[in-house]
Chains A and B, each alone.
Chain A
Amino acid sequence: MKAAELIRVRLDAGQDVFVLRRLGRAAAELAGLEPQDQVRVATALSEVGREVYGPGAAAVIALGDDELLITLNHEKRSGLAGSEGVRLAGRLVDQVELDDGHVTLAKRLRPRPRRGRIADIRMGLARLAPVSVLDELRDQNRELAATLDDVRRLNAELQETNTGVLAMYNQLSAELEETNRGVVALYAELDEKSSQLREATEARNRFWATVSHELRTPLHSVIGLVRLLTGPGGDPLTDEQAHQIELIGNSTRTLLHLVSELLDMAKAESGRLDPHPTTVSLTDVAEHLHVTMRPTRERGGVELRHHVAPEAATLHVDEGMLVTILRNLLSNALKFTESGEVRLEARADDDRGEAVITVADTGIGIPPEQLKRVFEDFYQVPGSFQVGARGTGLGLPYARRLAEALGGTLELSSTQGEGTTATLRLPHHGGPPEAERVLVADDDEVFRAAARRMLHGFAAHVDEAADGAAALEAMAAEPPDVILVDLLMPRVDGHALLHRMAEDDRLSRIPVVVVTVEPQHAPEGRAVLSKHGLRRDQLIQAIRQARGGEA
């Protein structure tokens, strides 16, 4: 009896046993076995297969005349005779034969099996072929090859996209570079323009200073000569001559006054106004002004009054500057007042810590549209009635500059036809300054000016530095009592400045107050203030705390 082989499978791994089981069941079905027998064959194969699988093992399903034969070839050295799998399989199939390296299971077919032809059975089983491990590998290989192709195509596409992106990037960066060059050129041009402007301003100031200085010398000579001519020891003059020489003297004095104003303005422009505060009695100043200003008034009908409140009677301020401001204001008031009074009043504004000095007149007033322009250099209200009818138009601008140098403000308010009130506000607090020298390191000029104003009276000197490097130089030259540091500065910024200070033995003890627009980025352990809405009392308090912490 020769059995026809239906299919052959390898039994390398446990998974192959599962495949054999399915093939065995299918073969049993195709061979015409009952469903129950199909399950028995499959289960028996499962049991035996589990015992024999391993490298080199294989199974052959074959169909004999009246039985289904499944032979499992294995390489197990030990015999399978007593194994459970073989024992259990024996209960499910009709015969189990064991010989060297082989196990053969036989299941008898029904006497008149309704089964297909061998070829059909083979084909049916082959259709389950993907289960064969080799085929599976082949399939997997084919899939892998397809995937590889896909990957290659994708790679090519990516490469193409990449080239595109690179080209775009190159183009963009070229364009950016060009724009950048333009910006740099523009910046250089601006820089040049601003340095030209600065030079022009400097030249103008130098011109003013030199010219007014050179002019004053001959004027003093002329005045001296006039005094000699009209003096008691001189040769007698006719009345006519005396009158003419008197006129020369008057004009020369006027000219000297104008030249002095020009010189003052030039000084103020070049920022060389350095106040030297002392304790000043405002009452005395007002008395003095009252006496000296009255004779300049030749007409009657205008009263000059003053009133100084006791709490504003003592100021800590540069006396010369204060007197100059008040003299300017009073002379203006008298100049433009025909009748009524000119009134100087002083009081203390405790809320803002300021002394408020007002000079009010009952003169012609200033039209509203001119109010701002009177602070411009050389500006004079056109067509106005001027009693003295002389001046350079520098008086008010100079007064305002002095007021700012003192840390104060000067404002005008006026009603046309009723009078003008000038209000001078100066920092006011009793006693000498608490700090000798404060350094403000900030690139923001506006803030430096504001800080200078706030610190006036608190500190005897306020130094400014536009960046960290300048601050280091300033500190090396004159160690300050405290330094205000901005974080965002060109060149050496605030963080770097603080770092350098900490490294330097001489500078590490200087108290620091950080004043910045971004307090949240300030370094730990420092007094920090926000620039926004900074008030004088906050700043002073922070400085006091910073200094107290060091003491």
Chain B
Amino acid sequence: MERVPILKLGDLLIVSIQVDLDDQTVLALKEDLAEVVVARGARGVIIDISAVEIVDSFTGRMLATIAEMCRMLDAHAVVVGMRPAVAITLVELGLSLGGVRTALNLEKGVALLDHVRGAVP
């Protein structure tokens, strides 16, 4: 099972998923991320899925769970870089990832988090 690296940038955590996600990997990511958020006191988490080709219902729900978990730990999560094919498939599956903030790319994700934090100190 592969581990997804979690990078720290200021008070942001950047999770760049460069592998095809299987169930174990995504579960491990959830646990690792929770620990790092708490340990580093991160205020924002950016999950870059631009290299992920397949997001099924399980992975989609896990992304929503991760975002919810981050919120509970006082951090905002943004999913960035979703491929069009993935987006289409998720919509066809009926999963809209309602609780998850998204941005087109990393840069916009960072801007979004800055904005959010500016609005809610």
Contacts and interface: CB of A to CB of B under 8 A. Distances in A.
Interface of A: 14-15, 18, 21-22, 25, 35-36, 38-40, 42-43, 46-47, 50, 84-85, 88, 91-92
Q: Which of B54, B88, B93 has the most CB of A within 10 A?
A: B54
Nearest to A35: B85
A21 B54 contact: yes
Contact of A47 (B20, B56, B85, B86): B56
Nearest to B23: A14
Interface in B16-38: 20, 22-24
A84 B94 CA distance: 11
A47 B54 contact: no
19 contacts: A15-B24, A18-B23, A21-B56, A39-B54, A39-B88, A39-B89, A43-B54, A43-B56, A43-B93, A46-B54, A46-B58, A47-B56, A47-B93, A50-B56, A50-B58, A85-B57, A88-B57, A92-B89, A92-B93
Interface of B: 20, 22-24, 53-58, 84-86, 88-89, 92-94
B20 A43 contact: no
A92 B58 CA distance: 15
A488 B84 CA distance: 87
Contacts of A50: 56, 58
A42 B58 contact: no
Q: Could you tell me the dominant secondary structure of chain A's interface residues? A: helix
A172 to B, nearest CB: 50
Contacts of A47: 56-57, 93
Contacts of A18: 20, 22-23
A50 B88 CA distance: 21
A39 B85 contact: yes
Contact of A39 (B24, B57, B86, B94): B86
A15 B20 CA distance: 12
Contact of A25 (B23, B24, B54): B54
A92 B86 CA distance: 12
A50 B62 CA distance: 15
Q: Which of B20, B55, B93 has the most CB of A within 10 A?
A: B93
A46 B56 contact: yes
A92 B23 contact: no
A273 B92 CA distance: 119
Contact of B92 (A22, A25, A35, A40): A40
Contact of B93 (A15, A22, A36, A91): A91
A428 B79 CA distance: 98
Nearest to B85: A39
Contacts of B56: 21, 43, 46-47, 50
Contact of A92 (B20, B24, B84, B92): B92
Nearest to B25: A18
Given A18-B22, A91-B93, A84 B85 contact: no
A22 B92 CA distance: 20
Given A18-B22, A43-B55, A88-B57, 9 more contacts: A18-B23, A21-B56, A39-B89, A40-B92, A46-B56, A47-B93, A50-B56, A84-B57, A88-B94
Contacts of A22: 20
A165 to B, nearest CB: 42
A91 B24 contact: no
Contacts of B53: 25, 39, 42
Nearest to B54: A42
Given A25-B54, A91-B94, A43 B89 contact: yes
